[in-house]
Amino acid sequence: MAVNSKKIPINSLQTGMYISRLDRPWIETSYPIEGFYIQNEEDIRKLSSLCKYVYIDIDLTRLRVDPLKLQIHDDHTSRFTAESVKEKIAEHSQTKQGGPTKTRIRRPSKLLYTERVAFEKEFKTANKLYETISHTAENILQNIESSGQIDITKVNQTASDMVDSIIRNPDAFLWLSRLKAKDTHTHNRSIRATIWGIAFGRYQSLSKLELDELSIALLISNIGKARLPREILERADELNGVERSVYQKHISYSVKLLRQMGSFSSSIINIVASYCERFDGSGYPRKLQGNKIIFSAQIAGLVSYYEKITNHRDSNKSLDATRAMEHLYKLRDTKFQSELIEEFIQSIGIYPAGSLIELNSREIAVIIEQNERHRLLPKVLILRDANKNPVKTFKILDLSGFDNTDKHCPKIINSIPLGSYDINSSEILDSILKTDKSWLLKRLFS
């Protein structure tokens, strides 16, 4: 977070200043969440049309600034965080009248899952398990197309194995969901949505049975799409009214198939039947509103939507994690209940595991593990030096282990998409596996 931050009026802005905070949420503007430099007078004019005052980061500002000569109002130093979103949603909830009846968010004061296996240990387990899961998920659709049946025992075991791993450490599978993000096949979309769903359900302290049911429902949620014309599936994001009606029948197809098999619980079938419903009634197939949508289906709907906007079939339309959070925030109490969105943001953080970020040192890194207490201070693996060249020696930084009062303390200043500076999933995977060995040795002898 910005430590040496000062609040100044718009008329004191100069080119070269680093804007760390606005007088309004970042999500209400077109700016990236984690700040930016003022490049020219046009930037100042744009800010003037939006804000009365802003906060500048003195340490990151590219010109010599004498704070005493600026019109300083206070020394508060916060940025967009999950906690600030929570405050905004609380205000929003108090002022909003009417609308669909809300579901009480279930997360208890005492979390059910607090023990965590070390990331470096669980990552190896999850990496091996992912291949099995991918094979199972692919077979689900293939078997539905050929025989209308699936290996229910295999699906149940696969779902349970995923839940067990994510209970032990959610970051390992969240990592893998990022590494596999370029694969837009339907079965891999289902896997990634399942990972998000289990991680969110874990954060909500759902029971092991509820997590298993949610996992199974998400894995098989798309089986009805095997009954749709291929041209409809390939153009799912560009359908007209009639085509959209055909596409939406995948829900009824899925429910019919599951009932014919006779081995899935009513809870699982209800999740599949309702995960495309939306809080304001704009979903399908029954136009359910508010708490008429069961809680697990609300989670399934939110994580499936998040998967869609972060891994769009057209990669140019995909949103990185930070901008996806901005997008979700704008949908509060329309597509999804505001409190559910806020809890989801807190559960995976502004920078989820596997996200690429830039530090104030200009180095490029990937998030390898979240800090549950301080979501903006995760563990990161450096992949590019300050000149954006591949590093020769891998280095892991735990941002929570630095003194934030030190102006040279490493800070995250931006979120960047996978593929930037030629960083692909293969390089990230190789890097973490290589680093894992040296990391373990350091821990053994430290």
CATH number of residue 268's parent domain: 1.10.3210.10
Question: In the listed set 48, 79, 110, which residue is the last one of a domain according to the structure?
Answer: 79
pLDDT number for residue 17: 83
Instruction: Please report the DSSP string for 344-383 in residue order.
Output: HHHHH-SS-TT-EEEETTS-EEEEEE--SS-TTS-EEEEE
Alpha carbon distance 338, 87 (integer Å): 11
Question: In the listed set 79, 99, 130, which residue is the last one of a domain according to the structure?
Answer: 79
* Residue 145, both tokens: 């197309």
150 and 222: one domain? yes
253 and 342: one domain? yes
Q: Does the pLDDT of residue 116 top 90, yes or no?
A: no
148 and 208: one domain? yes
291 and 399: one domain? no
211 and 335: one domain? yes
CA 50 to chain centre: 27
* Residue 73, both tokens: 């109002």
Q: Is residue 108 part of a domain?
A: no
Residue tagged 């979103």 (tokens) = 85
Identify the CA nearest to 212 among candidates 254, 157, 256, 269.
157
Q: Is residue 55 part of a domain?
A: yes
> Which amino acid is it at 367?
I
Residue tagged 């019919």 (tokens) = 256
Question: In the listed set 303, 327, 348, which residue is the last one of a domain according to the structure?
Answer: 348
152 and 238: one domain? yes
Q: Is residue 393 part of a domain?
A: yes
Q: Does the pLDDT of residue 201 top 50, yes or no?
A: yes
* Residue 15, both tokens: 């080119």
Q: Is residue 98 part of a domain?
A: no
pLDDT number for residue 245: 93
Identify the CA nearest to 175 among candidates 367, 397, 363.
367
Quick: pLDDT tens for 31-59.
Answer: 655 577 787 888 888 888 888 888 887 76
Phi-psi region at 353: left, alpha or beta (left = phi > 0; alpha = psi -120 to 50): beta
Q: How many domains does the chain have?
A: 3
Q: Is residue 114 part of a domain?
A: no
140 and 245: one domain? yes
Q: Taking residues 269-287, report their average pLDDT.
A: 97
The listed range with the strongest mean pLDDT (224-228, 319-323, 411-415) is 224-228
Q: Are 413 and 358 in contact (CB under 8 A)?
A: yes
Residue tagged 């700016």 (tokens) = 31
Q: Is residue 105 part of a domain?
A: no
Q: State the maximum Cα–Cα separation within the chain, in Å, rounded to a whole number.
A: 76
> Which amino acid is it at 421?
Y
H or E segment at 135?
helix 119-146
169 and 308: one domain? yes
335 and 371: one domain? no
pLDDT number for residue 158: 93
Range of the domain at 438: 356-445
Alpha carbon distance 40, 273 (integer Å): 52
SS3 state of residue 61: coil
Q: Is the dihedral of CA 262, 264, 270, 272 positive or negative?
A: negative
CA distances from 158 to 114, 203, 371 (A): 23, 21, 28
Per-residue confidence at 181, pLDDT binned at 50, 70, 90?
Answer: low
229 and 297: one domain? yes
Q: Which residues lie below 8 Å from residue 52, measured CB to CB, with a gap of 6+?
A: 9, 10, 23
332 and 360: one domain? no
Flag whether the pTM goes above 0.85. Answer: no
pLDDT number for residue 106: 67
Alpha helices, DSSP H only, in 204-320? Answer: 208-220, 230-234, 241-247, 250-261, 266-274, 295-310
330 and 365: one domain? no
Quick: pLDDT tens for 415-444.
Answer: 777 778 888 877 887 787 777 555 444 444
Per-residue confidence at 325, pLDDT binned at 50, 70, 90?
Answer: confident
Q: Is residue 99 part of a domain?
A: no
pLDDT number for residue 272: 97
> Which amino acid is it at 224?
G
Q: Does the pLDDT of residue 25 top 80, yes or no?
A: no
Q: Is residue 169 part of a domain?
A: yes
Alpha carbon distance 4, 67 (integer Å): 10
Q: In what order do the strands lie in the sheet with 53-57?
A: 5-9, 53-57, 18-22, 36-37
